[in-house]
Structure formats: C-alpha cells, structure tokens
Amino acid sequence: MLIGASLLYDLSFSHLNGYGAENSTMTICQDEPKTTVFTHEVFNQPTPLVDFNLFLSDIVLVDGLKRHRGSWAYERISDYGQRMGSAEVLEWADQANRYTPVLKTFDRFGNRIDEVDFHPAFHKMMGLSAENGLHNLPWAQQQEGSHVARAALMYLAYQTEAGHCCPMSMTYSVVPALRLQPELAKIWEPRLVLNGYDGKLKPAGEKSGVIFGMGMTEKQGGSDVRANTTRAVPISQRGPAQPYRITGHKWFCSAPMSDAFLILAQAQDGLSCFLVPRFLEDGTKNNFFIQRLKDKLGNKSNASSEVEFRDTIGYLVGNEGRGVPTIIEMVNHTRLDCAVGSASVMRQATLQAVHHCSQRSAFGKKLIEQELMQNVLADLAVESEAAALLVLRLAESYDTASSNEEQAFRRIVSAVSKFWICKRAPQHAYEAMECMGGAGYVEESVMPRLFRESPLNSIWEGSGNVIGLDVLRAVAKEEGVVESIQAELNKAGGSDIRFDKYADEVITQLQAVKRAILNKDLGVERTTRRLVERMALALQGSLVVRFSPDSVVDAFVSSRLDHDHGMNYGTLHPGVNMSEIVERACPLN
Ligand SMILES: Cc1cc2nc3c(=O)[nH]c(=O)nc-3n(C[C@H](O)[C@H](O)[C@H](O)COP(=O)(O)OP(=O)(O)OC[C@H]3O[C@@H](n4cnc5c(N)ncnc54)[C@H](O)[C@@H]3O)c2cc1C
C-alpha cells in the first residue's frame, strides 16, 4: 500500500496476450516508482503521505499539549508521532487490518485452546504503543498533564491504526475501577504499569506487561445491562475480592486475548462487577470459551468476540449489587477515548484530504485553489480543530479531578463530547473521502478504513441516545454540573458577541431542562439531542474563541453558532479566510 524508498513491482503481462507480449511475470526492484507505463505517462497523482511526524505537523495538538500541562512528554510524543507517520508503521496498520484475526478454538489434537491468531503486524502495533504507555501512562507516571499526554498519544495512534487502540484503552481505563478493590489492585496494578507487551497466552505473572478487556453486553441487553443473565455464585464466602463461579455469556467481548477482564454478572444482591483472569493463580487456564469472532464493519484488526463462562472464576470488585457504579469508573475513561478516537479520525481525514487536494489538479488549477473545494476543506479543518480542542480540554479534567468543579466538568463533558464528536465523525470521513474522488474510495488509500471506523465510537461505550439520557440525568441530579459548564463558557466571555449570545442561550436552556426534569414534565427526553448538540457547540466555541486564530474563530462562530451550518460541509460564509485555515491544518505541503 505505502511506498517507501525501495519498491518491488510485479508486472503481469498475461493480459496483454495478442498485443505482442509473452505470458510472463517479472519483478523489478527500483528506487522510485516508474512514471512511464506502456500506454501513458502517470502524472497529476499525489505522492503518498508517509514518513512525516504526525505530531509535529499538528499545530492544534502541539499547542494543546503545552496549554494543558503535558509539555514534559513532548519528546516522547514527538518520537511516537514520527513512528506513527512512518511508512513502516503505516504498512503494519494496513496489514493488521487486511489480514484479520482468526479464532483457533481447538488445537490439532482436539483440545480446546480458545486462542486468537493475529497477523504479526498487529502485535508490532501493540508492542510499540505499550512501550509508549498508551495503556498506562497516567498510572505509571503520576504527573500533572499525564492524562493529556496520554490522550495526545492515543490521538496519534488512532490516526494510524484504530483497532489496537481498543485494548490499549480498556487497559488504561480499568485502573480506577480496580482501585475500588485494593486487594485486587495490589496484584494487578504492578503488572498494569509495565510497558512490555506479550501476545502469547500465558499467566500474567510471567509477562512483561498485561492487557485488560471488558464484558458487559449480553444478547438480550447491552445498553440496559440490568437485563444481564450471567450469574455468579460465591465459592465459599460472599463479599469483595472473594472468588465466585460465573456462568453465562457475553455477546461482545473485544480483545479476548487479554490477560484479565472486568465483567458484570448477577450475584445474590444484584448486578456485580468481577475480575476474570484468563489464568488462575495456580497457573491453570480459567474457563473462558471464545465462541466466535464478530464479522464487523470496521475495526478489523481488533478481535471482537462472543464468549461463554462456565464455572469461570471471577473475583468480586466492590460490593455485590454495585456492579454498574463500579464498572462505570472504567467506562468513563473509555468514553474519553471514544471522543479522542473520533477527533483523531477527523484529524487524519482532514490531513489526507488536504494533502491530496494540494497535489491534484482539475480544470487547470490545483483542487486546493478551487474556491468551492477550499470551503469544504476549511470546514473539515474547523470541525477537526474544534474536536481536538475539546478532547484535550476534557483530558485535562481527568488530571485535575481533585477540584469539585473539574469533577463536575469531567462528568458532564465526557458524555457531551462522546455524543457530539463521535456523531460528527462519519459524515466528516465521508466528505474527506469525496475530496479525493475515486482515489479516496479504494482500499489502498486509508480512507475506507477511516470511514468504516467512524461510526463505532458512537455505538460502543453507550450509544448516542443512552449518552444523551446520561447527560439529562447528570444535568438534573448531579451537583455543580450546570455551573461547571457555565464557568467554562464564562472563560471565553466578552471576546465575541455571537459566542456570548449562544452561550447565554445554552445556559438558559440547561436551566429550563433541569426544571422540566425535576417537575417530571412530559417530552423532555425528546429534546435531548438538540440540547446536547448545543452544549457541545458552546463548549467547542468557548475553546475556539480562546485558543484558535481569527480565521478559525470566524469560520466556527459564524457557521456553527451564529447561523445554521446546513446539512453538509463546505457551507462556510464566503468571507472566511479559508486558505489560512487549510494551511494551518496541513502545514506539510
Ligand atoms: C465492535 C464492537 C465491539 C464491542 N466490544 C464490546 C466489549 O468489549 N465489551 C462490551 O461489553 N461490549 C462491547 N460492545 C457492545 C456495545 O457496547 C453495545 O453494542 C452498545 O452498548 C449498545 O448495546 P446493544 O448493542 O445491546 O444495543 P441496545 O441496547 O439494544 O440499543 C439499541 C439502540 O437503542 C438505543 N436505546 C437504548 N435505550 C434507549 C432509551 N432508553 N431511549 C432511547 N434509545 C435507547 C441505543 O442508544 C441504541 O441506539 C461492542 C460493540 C461493538 C460494535
């Protein structure tokens, strides 16, 4: 797919029979692609976007890292960005998705093994990201800005290969939930902070690093986990950290080769959270049966499976009946990553589109110089910048969660960002693909993979409506949530009259919705999506107004806050400085 310094061409002549060519195949090794083929010269085709620093070419990310106290990780992130933009790693990403994981239920002798075979490229991706702490940075290095630094790494990883980000994310996210059960955290946290990766199925204690998964969703209910039928019975004593026997299934269980999982099952006092290891402490395998792998739209490199538990050993995390509040500690962090991941998809899509259009001409001009294309590209870039600003600000709130206001902010903005940014990604990926014409539709470009990835973050970890209802719940019932939004919006007050007006309206609307829910007024739920959209736009607007250049402020505020943006990208008002926005998005060209 990706062209490096040296190329191998297989030229098959068999289709030219009758035109003077023999049936033969020859392999040519050369340093540069051959631009003269048999019938024509190859020209007006962009160069591949490889061997560049994904981090340093991203002004919004570089600035955001500094602003949110992540500068100490600058070098690590820059090195990682260089690797993620390298032809070699981009090739791994392609291979990991082209040669998808295969379930090996039995060995050749008929013994049940329940292993997943991945292409070596997937393991390389996992190894590189684990080495850089994508699965553990804030827990391994407890430093201010560490969640922001990790979010920046994740933002880069997701652009190159999204599938392996799922196990990275679940592993990072498990720690706060695990800490609710100190006896279990004492065993697992020292393993979690290791930066090694070992893809083999063997006891966690023998590995240079571990990976965690999560199992909540069952056939009869995913959003409504209270419908779970999987049961847990204590082996001897009931209570936190005690072993139980678990029987039942999980309909979705991504990364089944993980070393351990947090899962939900019904115990005597109700839905409870359990830590299920793949190996037991005596070194024998736990009962963990992988029934089949899901045949998915995208996220192909990541093995998502259906699993069964039969007398599987799991250790209770937290109290019986407190399964949801326990596992939600994990889910909050994976929701942050969903927003980061979708912002990242938009960033990569923007980059690909701008790069393509800066080298491709039509009707006598580069595409990037065509006025209408400038509008589309600038609009995509503005959306991507606003998403990046919001996820970095959100990641900061994970760092400074000690203040009550930040905790309230984190609570509400995790949900709002997850809803909005994840919902914006598919349309964005599609529009970026269209900028590349037919070239964007073929697998060799990264666009089909981005496009297939783009709806996923909105579905898992709470689908759109569920997240919307969660926002309503938080607004109505949780202290300080509306005030935390208001405080954030106030920081941008006074610099743009259009923003001020929009922010005031959103706060008024929030207060009205809060009153309506408390009064149990009918129909409030129906207004949820519009409310959440407006909250997200106000938050993004506040960050754009404070931290983006005038061109981006003008474009964002006029299109998203002052007027109806319309149904498609490319609808910025004609006076916007589009070329400046586009250049900022892709300074490589
Ligand atoms: C690739 C992939 C990997 C996954 N990996 C995992 C994993 O590792 N572990 C895991 O536990 N799960 C995993 N999931 C499952 C995922 O989290 C669920 O699919 C998701 O939570 C939705 O649950 P569901 O599929 O049962 O849909 P449902 O709960 O049936 O929801 C269907 C629709 O109804 C909406 N809805 C639900 N309730 C309401 C309501 N009250 N009002 C209005 N609308 C409502 C939802 O928003 C959704 O749009 C994975 C999913 C995918 C696609």
d(CA 249, CA 497): 55
Q: Packing angle between helix 74-84 and helix 146-160, nearest 10 degrees?
A: 10
Beta strands in 255-303 (DSSP E): 260-267, 270-277, 289-293
d(CA 400, CA 61): 19
CB distance 459 to ligand 1 below 6 Å:
yes
CB distance 368 to ligand 1 below 6 Å:
no
Tell how far the Cα of 171 is from the centroid of ligand 1, in angstroms.
Answer: 20
Asked if residue 302 lies in contact with residue 205, where contact means CB atoms within 8 angstroms, the answer is no
Helices (H), 26-164: 59-67, 74-84, 87-98, 120-131, 137-140, 146-160
Instruction: State the closest ligand 1 atom to the C-alpha of 304, by its place in the atom list counted from 1.
Output: 3
Asked if residue 302 lies in contact with residue 421, where contact means CB atoms within 8 angstroms, the answer is no
Tokens 């072993």 belong to which residue?
A: 243
What's the mean pLDDT when you consider all of the chain?
93
Q: Look at residues 70, 50, 296, 45 and name the one whose alpha carbon lies nearest to residue 160.
A: 50
Q: Look at residues 395, 327, 324, 329 and name the one whose alpha carbon lies nearest to residue 176.
A: 329
Tokens 């942050």 belong to which residue?
A: 336
Which residues are registered as beta bridge partners of 367?
none
Q: Look at residues 319, 229, 223 and name the one whose alpha carbon lies nearest to residue 274.
A: 319
Q: Which domains does the chain have, with CATH numbers?
A: 1-43 (no CATH), 59-321 (2.40.110.20), 325-585 (1.20.140.10)
CA 384 to chain CA centroid, Å, is 14
Tokens of 439: 């070239």
293 Rama sector, left if φ>0, alpha if ψ -120 to 50, beta otherwise:
beta
CB distance 572 to ligand 1 below 6 Å:
no
DSSP 557: I
Predicted local confidence at residue 35, as pLDDT: 81
Which residues are registered as beta bridge partners of 246?
232, 312
The residue whose CB lies within 8 Å of the most ligand 1 atoms, and thus the one to mutate among 293, 297, 459, is 459
d(CA 470, CA 464): 10
**DSSP string for residues in 121-154:** HHHHHHHHHHHTTTTTHHHHS--TTHHHHHHHHH
The residue whose CB lies within 8 Å of the most ligand 1 atoms, and thus the one to mutate among 169, 223, 250, is 223
Residue type, 233: V
d(CA 201, CA 207): 10
d(CA 466, CA 224): 9
DSSP 369: G
**Rg of the chain over all Cα atoms, to the nearest angstrom:** 25
Tell how far the Cα of 220 is from the centroid of ligand 1, in angstroms.
Answer: 11
CB distance 565 to ligand 1 below 6 Å:
no
Phi/psi at 578 (5° precision) = -70, -40
d(CA 167, CA 211): 7
Instruction: State the closest ligand 1 atom to the C-alpha of 296, by its place in the atom list counted from 1.
Output: 1
CB distance 464 to ligand 1 below 6 Å:
yes
Task: Reduce the DSSP state of residue 401 to 3 states and report it.
Answer: coil
Asked if residue 586 lies in contact with residue 57, where contact means CB atoms within 8 angstroms, the answer is yes
Tokens 């600038």 belong to which residue?
A: 378
Would you give per-residue pLDDT tens digits along the chain (589 residues)?
333 333 333 333 333 333 333 333 333 444 677 788 789 999 999 999 999 999 999 999 999 999 999 999 999 999 999 999 999 999 999 999 999 999 999 999 999 999 999 999 999 999 999 999 999 999 999 899 999 999 999 999 999 999 999 999 999 999 999 999 999 999 999 999 999 999 999 999 999 999 999 999 999 999 999 999 999 999 999 999 999 999 999 999 999 999 999 999 999 999 999 999 999 999 999 999 999 999 999 999 999 999 999 999 999 999 999 999 999 999 999 999 999 999 999 999 999 999 999 999 999 999 999 999 999 999 999 999 999 999 999 999 999 767 899 999 999 999 999 999 999 999 999 999 999 999 999 999 999 999 999 999 999 999 999 999 999 999 999 999 999 999 999 999 999 999 999 999 999 999 999 999 999 998 999 999 999 999 999 999 999 999 999 999 999 999 999 987 788 999 999 999 999 999 999 887 6
CA 35 to chain CA centroid, Å, is 38
Per-residue pLDDT of 197-209, as tens digits, reads 999 999 999 999 9
Asked if residue 271 lies in contact with residue 264, where contact means CB atoms within 8 angstroms, the answer is yes
Per-residue pLDDT of 547-566, as tens digits, reads 999 999 999 999 999 987 78
Mapped to the 3 state alphabet, what secondary structure does 190-255 carry? HHHCCCCCCCCCCCHHHCCCCCEEEECCECCECCCHHHCCCEEEECCCCCCCCEEEEEEEEEEEEC
CB distance 304 to ligand 1 below 6 Å:
yes
Tell how far the Cα of 568 is from the centroid of ligand 1, in angstroms.
Answer: 27
Predicted local confidence at residue 11, as pLDDT: 34
Question: Residue 14: which residues within 8 A CB-CB, separation 6 or more?
Answer: 23, 24, 25
d(CA 383, CA 386): 5
CB distance 293 to ligand 1 below 6 Å:
no
Instruction: State the closest ligand 1 atom to the C-alpha of 255, by its place in the atom list counted from 1.
Output: 8
The pTM score is 0.94
Q: Burial-class residue 26 by CB neighbours within 10 Å (0-12, 13-18, 19+).
A: exposed
Tell how far the Cα of 223 is from the centroid of ligand 1, in angstroms.
Answer: 5
CB distance 466 to ligand 1 below 6 Å:
yes
Asked if residue 586 lies in contact with residue 353, where contact means CB atoms within 8 angstroms, the answer is no
Q: Look at residues 202, 174, 168 and name the one whose alpha carbon lies nearest to residue 188.
A: 174
Q: Look at residues 295, 343, 379, 308 and name the one whose alpha carbon lies nearest to residue 582.
A: 379
C-alpha distances (whole Å) from 499 to each of 410, 517, 534, 548, 553 are: 22, 27, 12, 14, 10
